[in-house]
Amino acid sequence: MFTEPYHYTRAFAEQLDGQDELARFRDEFYLNPDSIYMDGNSLGLLSKRAEQSLLRVVDAWKTRGIDGWTQGEHPWFYMAEQLAALSAPLVGAAADEVIVTGSTTTNLHQLVATFYKPEGSRTKIVADALNFPSDIYALQSQLRLHGLDPAEHLIQVQSRDGRLIEEADIIAAMTEEVALVILPTVLYRSGQLLDMERLTAEAHARGILIGFDGCHSVGAVQHHFSQWGVDFAYWCNYKYLNSGPGGVGGLYVNRKHFGRMPGLAGWFGSSKDKQFDMEHRFVPAADAGAYQIGTPHIISMAPLIGSLEMFAEADLTRLRQKSLKITSYMMGLIEQELSGMGFTIGNPRDDQRRGGHVSLEHAEAARICKALKENGVVPDFRAPNIIRLAPIALYSTYGDVWDTVQRLKTIMTDKLYEKFENTRDVVA
């Protein structure tokens, strides 16, 4: 928690910014001078380094044509492995346990197809009732492919309060009928950070494999997947890692599973020395690269080169420390400035249980978000009543936080939100 004495003034926010050892990275991003961006947990902003690495890859295409696959600064044939080496420290893994490939949902399909082996009485998959819908759709689909009814074989652990999932309830669902557990690292609505180490140990003690969706934590929270013995994980790179809209995802497979045949085989999962033999016998790569399917999306991967180089410089430990401090500061401001206006902070307050965003609940959340945008703040709405605010360690300032809360106070005091309907836009 943010424990040092503080004052709710613009001057004090500027003092905190003057002490910020990550402040220099703000100049690396394209920021709109007319608005405050608080939606980096949904889509990160473009950095100048990401732009440059994209342009360099495009230039290689322009000047080298097909030889770009094996020549130049970043040969395309090895780009997924290059990015994996840069990504691995962010998830606590060895480079060969990570590959940059696919999307969140296609990677989940690949991993479930690989690791879900219903046998005897062990046929069920455990997930949680607050998970992002795409994960649930994928799990339901995988169960149907096995001829199983998702209504019976997908166990969704319920929340006690509609915000959080208790680890004890997840553990209680790990019965002898369970073959696989799939959970988010951070719940996308409330920002709750699950105890991955505990859950992994409990699953393994019961002979159950466990995997995690890291979309809302990778780049904001430290992970130790290898140390914890997590079986597999998958994530997107366009939120905290700023790879761009629809940017290529990533996956992790613990080395103890190397050699397991991919459930969904494709030619880029081949051992690289065999791939262009063009034989109809699949020889998978000996590491996480085996779980690639199709040809890498080179142009979409390119911005991640520059972005991940910046993360290596900034250091995730420092990023996490600032994230915790600035979100705690935001919560303190909210409690001080918005008291009596109908807001509830729905995310955990404990640093050990909180991800990278503040989850602010209000009955008029959808129309308040629209008013924020009209008044120069970009938030994120999540049905039915959540305003997600994410000050990002690399480019958000304490001054941004102070200004955001003050504008929110004006919106509520002057009832500026009443001009809008309390319904979400097409994209929320």
Instruction: Kindly list the distances between the CA atom of residue 240 and the CA atoms of 37, 118, 235, 237, 357, in Å, as whole numbers in the listed order.
Output: 13, 35, 11, 7, 11
User: What single string gives the DSSP state of each residue in 378-391?
Assistant: E-EEETTTEEEEB-
Catalytic residue selected from 49, 124, 163, 239: 239
* ω into 296 cis (within 30 of 0): no
Catalytic residue selected from 17, 20, 96, 213: 213
106 labelled ligand-binding: no
* Residue partners of 325: CB distance under 8 A and separation at least 6: 2
105 labelled ligand-binding: yes
Catalytic residue selected from 49, 124, 325, 388: 388
> Does the annotation count 322 as an active-site position?
no
Q: Pairing mode, if any, of strands 154-157 and 178-184? A: unpaired
CA 336, distance to chain mean position in Å, is: 30
Dist. CA 10–CA 223, nearest whole Å: 34
What single DSSP character describes residue 340? T
267 labelled ligand-binding: yes
In this structure, what are the phi and psi dihedrals at residue 399, rounded to the nearest 5 degrees?
-65, -40
**If DSSP codes are grouped into helix, strand and coil, which group holds residue 186?**
strand
Would you say 290 and 303 are in contact if contact means Cβ atoms under 8 Å apart?
no
> Does the annotation count 116 as an active-site position?
no
> Does the annotation count 238 as an active-site position?
yes
132 labelled ligand-binding: yes
Using a 10 angstrom Cβ sphere, with 0-12 exposed, 13-18 middle and 19 or more buried, the burial of residue 11 is exposed
5 labelled ligand-binding: no
216 labelled ligand-binding: yes
> Does the annotation count 239 as an active-site position?
yes
| 41-64 as b/e: b if 16+ CB within 10 A | bbbbbbbebbbebbeebeebbeee
> Does the annotation count 213 as an active-site position?
yes
Catalytic residue selected from 37, 238, 252, 381: 238
Catalytic residue selected from 6, 78, 132, 282: 132
In this structure, what are the phi and psi dihedrals at residue 410, rounded to the nearest 5 degrees?
-65, -40
Would you say 280 and 219 are in contact if contact means Cβ atoms under 8 Å apart?
no
133 labelled ligand-binding: yes
402 labelled ligand-binding: no
303 labelled ligand-binding: no
In this structure, what are the phi and psi dihedrals at residue 421, rounded to the nearest 5 degrees?
-80, 145
List residues forming the annotated binding site for pyridoxal 5'-phosphate: 104-105, 132-135, 213, 216, 238, 267, 295
Enzyme catalytic residues: 132, 213, 238-239, 388
